[in-house]
Structure 1
Amino acid sequence: MSDSKEMGKRQLGPLGHLGLGHVPSALQVFFLVVFSVLLLVILVKVFEIPSSQGQEQSSQEKVYQELTQLKAGVDRLCRPCPWDWTPFQESCYFFSVAQKTWNDSATACQTVGAQLVVIKSDEEQNFLQQTSKKRGYTWMGLIDMHKESTWHWVDGSPLTLSFMKYWNEGEPNNVGEEDCAEFRGDGWNDTKCDNKKFWICKKPKTSCPSK
């Protein structure tokens, strides 16, 4: 009976709890395994970060290269004038295919950042006269609405004597309140502003990037 008690004491251990004598070594193994797993995870993350950053940097560089190539392509396509405008010297001209009153024509030009054409030189006048002659009667930005026989351009500048030679013979005659000027035939004519004509818009050329 005493041998049985002694065996029970050895199995229960010094604290009277079964197996506690083996708990410290089991915990050590457990913590060692957990620590090893955590260390492995950390190492994997550390090695993944440079790879991810490298991929991100590579992606950014690729996008930058594509944007650079796209910009170069756009620069090559740069036009001083919009596609449906005609360049001449330092300006762009839009020749309408529809007809409007003088006021509506002026508004149409303003809508696209331009104005009814203001003529500044003999060369420009000849170019516009020949072009409009092929199309039909065409508005220009010249009026005497504010004071009869005092003609001025839509930019506020007066009609100079050097341009008076472009009026057709007998014009301007102001028959029936004719306050707006048009290209007609080989010269200019004054006519009623409510008539519908073709029109010409003018704006400066835009500068393209240097090659």
Structure 2
Amino acid sequence: MASEITYAEVKFKNASPDAVVNAPPETKKHEHHPQKYPPWLPWLISVLLLLVCIALVITLLVVPCSQSSDQPPALQQKSTEWSCVSSVPQGREKGWTCCPKGWKLFQESCYYLSADMMPKVESEQNCTGMGSHLVVINSRAEQEFLSKELQQSSNGENYYIGLRAEAVGQWHWVDQTPFNETAAFWRIGEPSNKSDQPCAVIHVKSNILGNWNDAKCEEHHRICEAAAVTV
């Protein structure tokens, strides 16, 4: 006799009839793709680095050289005609030492002995306008050279030099060179140190090594000085 199969319906308390088992969402895997660069980029970087290196070389070598070289002297900028003599400066190859035409050369300086006369302020301005200044005498040799030149070629009597008294007895050179009383070339009895005579001149008709006078700042001739140009 065949056995009977009985089916029974079983219900669980508090169970949801439509219970759904929710599985955790599948985590999406992020794929990492290597970033691609244009094939010409490495070449561009190489060229830029090369240009930077060249710029550094120019900055380190060329610029210091250009800065170390002296700018053309003011005298050189003001003059167009020159008189030059052959010279061999120490430590240099043979070259030429030049002064503007009409100026006198002595050692490393050029001197202008004026034919006209001006008051002191105008004399200073005239020298400055030519790229020079009223002469500053620093040695016996320079004093002798100028005095002999004046005696040979001058028609004037007094020539301004770049010496002035800021106060009575307080003499100063125009280029701020300290005034050395023991290296001065005053005439006997000079300077008189009067308040109305603050300017200094060379008196042409006096002794070569003693011909400075203090004088009023009236119209006199002048001696301008500038550094000679070596080429």
TM range (shorter): 0.5 to 0.7
Partner of 2:215: 191
Deviation for aligned residue 1:157: 1.9
What count of residue pairs does the alignment treat as equivalent? 132
1:141 to 131, 156, 162: 162
User: 1:207 offset after TM fit, Å?
Assistant: 1.2
Equivalent of 1:158 in 166, 178, 183: 178
How many angstroms apart in 2 are the aligned matches of 1:167 and 1:127? 16
Q: Which residue number corresponds to residue 172 of structure 1?
A: 191
Cα distance change on mapping 1:108 and 1:150 into 2, 3 Å: same
2:228 is matched with: 205
- 1:132 matched to which residue of 2? 150
**For residues 121 and 175 of structure 1, do their structure 2 counterparts lie closer, same or farther at Cα, with a shift above 3 Å needed?**
same
- What are the within-5 Å matches in structure 2 for residues 1-211 of structure 1? 80-134=98-152, 135=154, 136-144=157-165, 146-164=166-184, 166-175=185-194, 177-184=196-203, 185-186=206-207, 187-193=211-217, 195-208=218-231
What's the C-alpha RMSD, in Å, of the aligned pairs?
2.3
Q: Supply the AA of the counterpart residue of 1:141.
A: G
Gaps of 5+ in 1: 1-73
Contact 2:116 2:221 in 1 (8 A): yes
TM-score by length of 2: 0.53
User: Larger % of strand: which?
Assistant: 2
Are residues 76 and 157 of structure 1, via their aligned partners in 2, closer, same or farther at CA, if it must alter by over 3 Å?
closer
Query: Structure 2 CA distance, aligned partners of 1:79 and 1:183?
Result: 27
Identity rate of aligned residues, in percent? 33
Is the CA contact (8 Å cut-off) linking 1:151 and 1:158 kept in structure 2? no
What's the CA shift for 1:162? Answer: 2.4
Q: Deviations over 1:141-193 (max 9, x none)?
A: 0000x2220111000122203223x1111110134510000001221000001
Give the Cα–Cα distance (whole angstroms) in 2 for the partners of residues 162 and 112 of structure 1.
Answer: 31
Instruction: Give secondary structure in 2 for the equivalent of 1:81.
Output: strand
* TM-score computed with the length of structure 1 as normaliser: 0.58
Tell me the distance in 2 between the aligned counterparts of 1:129 and 1:152: 21
One-letter code of the match for 1:192?
Answer: K
Superposed CA offset, 1:118-139 (max 9, x none): 0111100111122234422111
